[in-house]
Amino acid sequence: MKVPLRFKSIRQRLVVLLLLAAALLSLLLFISVRAIASASVQASQDSILGAATIAIAEELRGGEEGVAIEIPYAAFSMLGSSGEDRIFYRILVGEDTVTGYGDLPMPVAELTGLEPVFYSRDYQGDPIRLAAVGRSVLVEGTPRRVQVIVGQTRTGQEMIISRMSNRAAALGMGFFFLSAVLALLTAQAVVGPVNSLAEAVGRRGPQDLRAVTRPVPEELAPLVSALNGLMARLTAALSRTETFIAEAAHHIRTPLATLRTHAEIAQRISEEQEVLARLREILRAADDSSRSAGQLLDHATVAYRTDQRAEEDLDLRAVMADVMRAAEPTAELKDLHFELSVPDGPVPIHADRLLLESAVRNLVDNAIKYSDGDDAIELRLTVDGGTATLAILDRGRGLGTMQGRDLTRRFARGSNVSDVVGSGLGLTIVREVARALSGSFRIENREGKGACAILSLPLA
Amino acid sequence: MRHLVIAIGLSLWAGLAAAFEIEEERLFEAQSDGPVVSILSTTDTVVFEPVIAAFQARNPEVSVHYTVSSTRQVYQAIAEDAARFDLVVSSAMDLQMKLANDGLARAHGSQEVEALPDWAVWREHLFAFSQEPVVLLLRRDAFGNRPLPQDRSGLIEIMRDRPALFEGRIGTYDPARSGAGYLFATQDARQSDSFWRLAEVMGSLSPRLYASTGAMIRDLESGDIVAAYNVLGSYVAGGLSIGDAGAVVELRDFTHVLLRTALVPASADQPELGGRFLDFLLSEAGQTALDRDARLPRIDGRALTTNPHQRPIRLDTGLLVFIDPLMRDRFLQEWAAAVTRP
Ligand SMILES: Nc1ncnc2c1ncn2[C@@H]1O[C@H](COP(=O)(O)OP(=O)(O)O)[C@@H](O)[C@H]1O
Ligand SMILES: [Mg+2]
């Protein structure tokens, strides 16, 4: 079927179509109830009219002096019972009207037997319903044909019909409203699975590209399989990109390592201050580049590994201690020392070790990088309810006027750190890890001086 | 006197009145200049005068031209001559019904019509404004210490027991000459078979037949007759002049109640004026004036329930039956056969 109207929503279209159908059915209901009512009112009116006509016809008597007429009082009284109708009658013997209204219309049909014939005509400006009965009586020994015609205006009948029509209209309206409610519910039920599918897909994290496996109605299956196909292709494209980044980082780091080795050798064999200074610069630049490349690699890894779900049971205390130990040589270069405080008992967490280490390492790196030296960097692990909170606090330059949330964006760097080399990826990695592990991350200025980074994770 | 009542020179209304017999004609002139509502009625002017006065008290600018004629003449004036009256008032329910049924009345709707009980109105065309029981008048003194008859069988019994007392001293309407008498007789006939027994017994006692109620009452008061059967009760609402010697009996088996009706003819020149007078008749003020001053009992459904023997003659198309000429001939023949001795 072609629908001439275009709707933006299936629901709207369904509702409109259902309402149209309901309106049509209501109208049909109204029309048919009214038709039935009219027919039955007509039928009952006819039966009274017919009875009155027969009653008069049966009282006609033959005899020696002609036809004797006796109109039963009840015949007319009965017809007037509604109090609304004028009545007319005509009695014919042979072709002559002997009494009544001489111009009352005659029936078209031939009158046979005592069964009344009914017909409708206009008379004296009003539509009237008539009944006619014919019979024979013996007058002076010969049969004479007599006909009785009784007519009645239809005011009373029309009043009843219009009353019934009103009821039929009310019925139709009621039916329509009920259908309207049902239409809305139906539309809701039909659109429901689509909505819930959309909601389920929408609720997913940005990295979640798993296929949709929830059961859906048959009609939605093609959509879901198309969606799943799309997601599979997307996953493949993503992993290709990540692989590429990882490889690129690797390809940068290897020559940097070679460069570093050669610079160190040159440092050892050179005596010249000028050259040594240059070599130090080269070494520093190589280190920064290598770290940036490392972060690129980490970022790619985080994105990739989020999908891999290589989770294991870990003790968060151990992870922190490991990261701290690895960072200690760098910290010592700036005369910084760590102060680690952890709970006594284990802090169990179910997570991908690489991701977790990468997050903590980036936070510790930042603390070192943005501290001035000769200070303490605090690593605090606390457990509250089902959440482990990991705080890394330093006494460095702080975030300046920047908002922590803005700094977690990809490649975002502070306005007060132009003297420090960095990629702007560190906090992005932390944020993504937090999200992958269903935790949260925030960084803010610390009371007095320095920054405070807080990573909260749900316990296993 | 508040109203100047003038007997009108015939010249002014001659054209109007030419085709039928007028019994009385009066113009009740208004205080100020205004329209004239012309009413054709079967009710005597003396009876209706206080009602017209009450109407003019509320409508001081309307003059009322009041014409009185017999029921038959009133019917003919409208049915045959299409006389241009604004309101037709008649005690002949059957003839009024015939006019209304034949489309010679105009529909009239109003608050007052709305307030009428269903049995007092027909299709917003014919309206009852008073209800008058049809009674038996007796001379108490003629009965000695015998109890007065309370129903038709009692009446039959006493007439059979004492023919000498009643011989030539029973009065009733001649249905052939009196429209009201015909209506009462036909309604009696349709109501019970005892009517024909009563007619036969009366017939055996050489009854006197009257065309007018007044004559019948006069004869009763003078003692020429001792019983008057089927008299419109409103004529004796003020009591009989003979005091306790007379008795007004509402028969317990059934007492017909005549509805005096009004209609606005289709031929009316000023139907709105006719309607205005009609609304007044149906209004509280009009009903009070009718009931109190004209002694035409007001329309009151409660009066019927407290007097269960009272049966209002139904204002429906059944009334057309005895209007039929063949039916009328036949009924009068049968009646004559029963009542008139060969
Ligand atoms: N401990 C900290 N103290 C001061 N500023 C910090 C600290 N950690 C992060 N920042 C600010 O957040 C920015 C983003 O950090 P990050 O994503 O790790 O990038 P990068 O360190 O490579 O610049 C940094 O440029 C810096 O301005
Ligand atoms: Mg960083």
Alpha-carbon distance A132 to nearest alpha carbon in chain B (angstroms) = 18
Residue B252 is predicted with a pLDDT of 93
Looking at the structure, tell me whether residues A36 and A148 fall in a common domain.
yes
In a domain, A4, yes or no: no
Closest residue CA from atom 8 of ligand 1: A366
Residue A87 and residue A154: Cα distance in Å, rounded? 10
Q: Which of A278, A308, A338 is the last residue of a domain?
A: A308
For A141-182, the pLDDT digits (tens) are 888 899 999 999 988 888 888 888 898 899 889 989 998 898
Residue A394 has pLDDT above 90, yes or no: yes
Ligand nearest to the CA of A375: 1
Computed over every residue of chain B, the mean pLDDT equals 89
Residues of chain A contacting B103 with CB distance shorter than 8 Å? 86, 124-126
Tokens of A270: 């050179």
In chain B, pLDDT over 90 holds for what percent of residues? 75
Looking at the structure, tell me whether residues A290 and A382 fall in a common domain.
no
Residue A396 is predicted with a pLDDT of 93
Residue A74 is predicted with a pLDDT of 87
Residue A272 and residue B143: Cα distance in Å, rounded? 172
Residue A206 is predicted with a pLDDT of 63
For A253-299, the pLDDT digits (tens) are 888 889 889 989 998 998 889 999 898 888 888 887 888 888 877 78
For B186-199, the pLDDT digits (tens) are 999 988 888 899 99
Tokens of A54: 């027969």
CATH of the domain at A426: 3.30.565.10
Residue A307 is predicted with a pLDDT of 63
Range B24-29 average pLDDT: 94
Question: What's the pLDDT band for B3 if we cut at 50, 70, 90?
Answer: very low
Contacts of B164 (CB under 8 A, 6+ apart): none
Query: Are B326 and A125 within 8 A, CB to CB?
Result: no
Residues of chain A contacting B100 with CB distance shorter than 8 Å? 86
Residues of chain A contacting B320 with CB distance shorter than 8 Å? 76, 87
Looking at the structure, tell me whether residues A330 and A359 fall in a common domain.
yes
What interface predicted TM-score (ipTM) does this complex get?
0.81
Residue A147 is predicted with a pLDDT of 93
Looking at the structure, tell me whether residues B180 and B242 fall in a common domain.
yes
Longest CA–CA span in chain B (Å) reads 64
Residue A398 is predicted with a pLDDT of 92
Looking at the structure, tell me whether residues B270 and B329 fall in a common domain.
no
For B214-229, the pLDDT digits (tens) are 899 999 999 999 999 9
Q: Does B329 touch chain A (CB under 8 A)?
A: no
Residue B287 is predicted with a pLDDT of 96
Tokens of B213: 């109620």
In a domain, A189, yes or no: no
Range A104-110 average pLDDT: 89
Contact B332, B175 (CB under 8 A): yes
* pTM of the predicted model as reported, rounded to 2 decimal places: 0.65
Looking at the structure, tell me whether residues A334 and A452 fall in a common domain.
yes
Range A209-237 average pLDDT: 86
Pick from A87, A98, A99: which is nearest to B101 by CB?
Answer: A87
In a domain, A211, yes or no: yes
Looking at the structure, tell me whether residues B170 and B111 fall in a common domain.
no
Looking at the structure, tell me whether residues B212 and B276 fall in a common domain.
no
Residue B19 has pLDDT above 70, yes or no: no
* 3-state SS class at B302: helix
Contact A121, A105 (CB under 8 A): yes
Looking at the structure, tell me whether residues A28 and A149 fall in a common domain.
yes
In a domain, A341, yes or no: yes
Closest residue CA from atom 13 of ligand 1: A413
Residue B17 is predicted with a pLDDT of 46
A7-to-A20, A196, B248 alpha-carbon distances in Å: 15, 21, 87
For B33-76, the pLDDT digits (tens) are 899 999 999 999 999 999 999 999 999 999 999 999 999 899 99
User: Residues lining ligand 1, judged by CB closer than 6 Å?
Assistant: A 362, 366-367, 370, 394, 396-399, 407, 413-414, 417, 422-428, 451
Q: At what angle do helices A273-308 and A353-369 cross, to 10 degrees?
A: 150
Query: Are B317 and A125 within 8 A, CB to CB?
Result: no
**DSSP secondary-structure letter at A420?**
S
The alpha helices in A410-451, defined as continuous H runs, are 426-436
Higher pLDDT, B265 or B240: B265
Query: Are A86 and B103 within 8 A, CB to CB?
Result: yes
For B282-304, the pLDDT digits (tens) are 999 999 999 999 999 999 999 88
Question: What's the pLDDT band for B8 if we cut at 50, 70, 90?
Answer: very low
Residue A382 and residue A284: Cα distance in Å, rounded? 36
Residue A141 is predicted with a pLDDT of 84
Looking at the structure, tell me whether residues B140 and B70 fall in a common domain.
no
For A424-441, the pLDDT digits (tens) are 889 999 999 998 888 999
Residue A309 has pLDDT above 70, yes or no: no
Pick from A69, A73, A155: which is nearest to B318 by CB?
Answer: A73
Interface residue ranges in chain A relative to chain B, Cβ cutoff 8 Å: 68-77, 79-81, 83-88, 98-100, 124-126, 155
Looking at the structure, tell me whether residues A315 and A452 fall in a common domain.
yes
Question: What's the pLDDT band for B342 if we cut at 50, 70, 90?
Answer: low
Looking at the structure, tell me whether residues A390 and A287 fall in a common domain.
no
Pick from A68, A80, A124: which is nearest to B103 by CB?
Answer: A124
- What's the A429 CA to ligand 2 centre distance in angstroms? 9
Residue B227 and residue B216: Cα distance in Å, rounded? 9
Tokens of A392: 């890394």
Residue A113 is predicted with a pLDDT of 73
The number of domains in chain A is: 3
Query: Are A87 and B122 within 8 A, CB to CB?
Result: no
Looking at the structure, tell me whether residues A210 and A285 fall in a common domain.
yes
What are the φ and ψ backbone dihedral angles of B167, each rounded to 5 degrees?
A: -50, 120
Contact B15, B83 (CB under 8 A): no
Looking at the structure, tell me whether residues B105 and B180 fall in a common domain.
no
Question: What's the pLDDT band for B341 if we cut at 50, 70, 90?
Answer: low
Residues of chain A contacting B193 with CB distance shorter than 8 Å? none
Range A49-70 average pLDDT: 88
Looking at the structure, tell me whether residues B39 and B119 fall in a common domain.
yes
Range A360-378 average pLDDT: 92
Domain carrying residue B16: 2-131+259-313
In a domain, A132, yes or no: yes
CB pairs below 8 Å between A and B: how many? 62
Residue A347 and residue A381: Cα distance in Å, rounded? 9
Residue A195 has pLDDT above 80, yes or no: yes
Residues of chain B contacting A155 with CB distance shorter than 8 Å? 123
Tokens of B115: 């307030």
Question: What's the pLDDT band for B1 if we cut at 50, 70, 90?
Answer: very low
Question: What's the pLDDT band for A308 if we cut at 50, 70, 90?
Answer: low
Tokens of A175: 């039916």
Looking at the structure, tell me whether residues A418 and A302 fall in a common domain.
no
Computed over every residue of chain A, the mean pLDDT equals 88
Residue A84 is predicted with a pLDDT of 79
Residues of chain A contacting B122 with CB distance shorter than 8 Å? 80, 83
Question: What's the pLDDT band for B6 if we cut at 50, 70, 90?
Answer: very low
Question: What's the pLDDT band for B157 if we cut at 50, 70, 90?
Answer: very high
Contact A116, A50 (CB under 8 A): yes
Looking at the structure, tell me whether residues A145 and A268 fall in a common domain.
no
For A6-29, the pLDDT digits (tens) are 667 788 888 888 889 889 998 998
- What's the A130 CA to ligand 1 centre distance in angstroms? 104
Looking at the structure, tell me whether residues B22 and B99 fall in a common domain.
yes
- What's the A369 CA to ligand 2 centre distance in angstroms? 8
Quick one: closest CA in B to A67, which residue? Answer: B326
CATH of the domain at B212: 3.40.190.10
Give the mutation target among A378, A416, A427 for probing the ligand 1 site: most ligand atoms within 8 A of CB.
A427
Neighbours of A412 (CB within 10 A): 14
Domain carrying residue A58: 10-162
Query: Are A155 and B314 within 8 A, CB to CB?
Result: no
- The least confident of A86-100, A109-123, A394-408, B88-102 is A109-123
- The amino acid present at A443, given as its one-letter code, is I
* Nearest-10 Cα torsion for A390, A396, A402, A404: 0
C-alpha B263 chain-centroid distance: 15
Question: What's the pLDDT band for B102 if we cut at 50, 70, 90?
Answer: very high
For B161-194, the pLDDT digits (tens) are 989 989 999 999 999 998 899 999 999 998 888 8
In chain A, pLDDT over 70 holds for what percent of residues? 96
Residue B15 has pLDDT above 60, yes or no: no
Which among A86, A91, A152, A155 is the top mutation candidate for probing chain B, defined by the most B β-carbons within 10 Å of its own β-carbon?
A86
Higher pLDDT, B187 or A1: B187
Residue A438 and residue A306: Cα distance in Å, rounded? 11
- What's the A327 CA to ligand 2 centre distance in angstroms? 14
Looking at the structure, tell me whether residues A344 and A391 fall in a common domain.
yes
Query: Are A76 and B190 within 8 A, CB to CB?
Result: no
Alpha-carbon distance A147 to nearest alpha carbon in chain B (angstroms) = 16
Residue A378 and residue A362: Cα distance in Å, rounded? 15
Residue B11 is predicted with a pLDDT of 36
Residue B7 is predicted with a pLDDT of 39
Looking at the structure, tell me whether residues A29 and A71 fall in a common domain.
yes
How many CA atoms are closer than 13 Å to the CA of A328, on its beta-carbon side?
9
Residue A56 is predicted with a pLDDT of 92
Residue B271 and residue A57: Cα distance in Å, rounded? 40
The number of domains in chain B is: 2
